Structure 1
């Protein structure tokens, strides 16, 4: 009987030790995963009347493929320990080099038949920033915005002066013909026939047309969190089709189109620029987080679903906070968007889902 009791006691002891080791192993594994540096990235390629019924399968796949190429470019930089600023810049380069988006190569035409490009970038670690407006010969405006941030005492440069600075910094210059695309040129011709101003991507007109809320907005942007806990955001655009008088929208304006602060979040906007400037959309989201204690999603929803519509505008934002939480908020029918976290999980969206 004693032998039987001894054997039962031994079996019970082994079983308990095994369970303890298993639980300990699980705890160690969990701690190991949690201790990995957090990082993430989110992008947009414009918001507006993006409806599946108006999109061919081939065009839909083209947008998805380019969005994936862009975000994977930035994600790789972050995964390898690169900075959020670098990830933002290189990610936006991919979209600037594609005719699909109203930025860089795909920039829309002004009333004069030229292309005027705007961009901005901001480093959340020190609130340093750079922006350019109304440039006509810069292949990648976001690169010039970066040079303004790191190699000048200024925040924003415009027009010919910005292009002079670009030459001094060795930023790639192109002939204005580089920005010509037949699709964008034909859009200008249609609008000039009406002698009105059209927002990018659609036949609805701005300022005087009550159907403005049904139109799309073309801009590209990126926000990122790197392994060092630093945030950055950037935005690039060709502006508004048929724009006059060297009109400048929200994309190059810090606090409106772009904002980054390590205390809160990094934001890039896409929308009817005049309203995003008046609402200071990007900074407003950060301020609500800092001063009211709102979460990123709560702040983004408050600004995009309430404040901007009350002013009469529409559009959307993408953002990431200092904890890696992401918001992709918009009040239009759709927004070209994508996000990736540290695990490499990818999510791409075009329509309101």
Structure 2
């Protein structure tokens, strides 16, 4: 895209030079190069099979995905930036107890909630993240504040909560995140001493490209059910679950975090696009193949510098959706692309 822009600018210069010999009128300023905007989201991956939920629950998830898509698209339609769009998209899922990201987050083994989030701007690869927050209502806003208002990339634990509070973000009691069905899941895991894939996966995320070709990514989660106190997964780690670089790709991941960290999934995907010249889906498939070889599963959403996008996952399903100027779509079941 940058190369094309330089070529267009050079051609424009030749035209202006040629016209100068026959006209003294100043040439109009060139219009900025534009790219069709696009937003892609996920609401977690796992053993999500047809018939595994009631029609009412399925409809509720589809409605929630559409709410997220519309929140991000509203920013992009108005000519806004990708970084604001991904924040807006995941913010609605943090507020929806259907998802494991804010209200409705899973419980730790101690019966509390510890939440993680990260966000990255592809223009300058600036990023912010929080890990193990317990009182900030919307972790993605805390991650954005770290990016915009501090010299650091990540805060954790009580320090992250204190930083968020100092920035004027909404703070809540930890019980705000409670839901009955997540408590039942905790009790089941503690009794059976085993987790299902659904207990490990529940991250939400978004990637976007705006009309100027800028990329951004955001990821937020409550972690895995009955996780040990202080455990941190891949979601707040730049390069594991979240990565964005203009002209290359933007990634948000969901899955068994320990494996995604070991592979460095998000950065691996973008490096394969950047250095090996792979398309985003091929690169994502290769990275997830490494995760699978180690024993992990999950999925990613990815969007390239040219707007190409994909949903790639090796689990039974993934809550997902896309929207751009031409339309939108959502899905829950099926194989990863």
Provide the residue aligned with 1:95 in structure 2.
93
Residues 172/162 of structure 1: CA separation in 2 closer, same or farther (3 Å cut): same
Alpha-carbon deviation of 1:141? 0.2
1:247 aligns with 2:231: yes
SS at match of 1:105: coil
| Distance of 1:217 and 1:168 partners within structure 2 | 31
| CA shift digits 1:129-180 (9 cap, x unpaired) | 0000000011110000000001000000001101111111011101111111
Q: TM-score, with normalisation over the residues of structure 1? A: 0.84
Alpha-carbon deviation of 1:99? 0.6
Provide the residue aligned with 2:245 in structure 1.
261
Name the structure with the higher helix share: 1
1:313 aligns with 2:296: yes
For the Cα contact (< 8 Å) 2:46–2:197, is it kept in 1?
Answer: no
Provide the residue aligned with 2:309 in structure 1.
326
| Distance of 1:155 and 1:41 partners within structure 2 | 24
For the Cα contact (< 8 Å) 1:197–1:242, is it kept in 2?
Answer: no
| Distance of 2:269 and 2:253 partners within structure 1 | 11
User: For the pair shown, which has the larger CA radius of gyration, 1 or 2?
Assistant: 1
1:181 aligns with 2:163: no
In the TM superposition, 1:68-147 aligns within 5 A as 68-147=66-145
Alpha-carbon deviation of 1:342? 2.5
Provide the residue aligned with 1:198 in structure 2.
195
Alpha-carbon deviation of 1:37? 3.2
Provide the residue aligned with 1:348 in structure 2.
330
1:297 aligns with 2:294: no
| Distance of 1:174 and 1:318 partners within structure 2 | 30
Residues 36/163 of structure 1: CA separation in 2 closer, same or farther (3 Å cut): closer
Q: TM-score, with normalisation over the residues of structure 2? A: 0.88
For the Cα contact (< 8 Å) 1:102–1:200, is it kept in 2?
Answer: no
| Distance of 1:332 and 1:163 partners within structure 2 | 33
Residues 141/161 of structure 1: CA separation in 2 closer, same or farther (3 Å cut): same
Provide the residue aligned with 2:271 in structure 1.
287
| CA shift digits 1:17-39 (9 cap, x unpaired) | xxxxxxxxxxxxxxxxxx86311
| Runs of 4+ deviating beyond 6 Å | none
Provide the residue aligned with 1:235 in structure 2.
219
| Distance of 1:91 and 1:142 partners within structure 2 | 10
Residues 200/151 of structure 1: CA separation in 2 closer, same or farther (3 Å cut): farther
- The number of equivalent residue pairs is 303
Provide the residue aligned with 1:272 in structure 2.
256
| Distance of 2:52 and 2:123 partners within structure 1 | 42
For the Cα contact (< 8 Å) 2:122–2:250, is it kept in 1?
Answer: yes
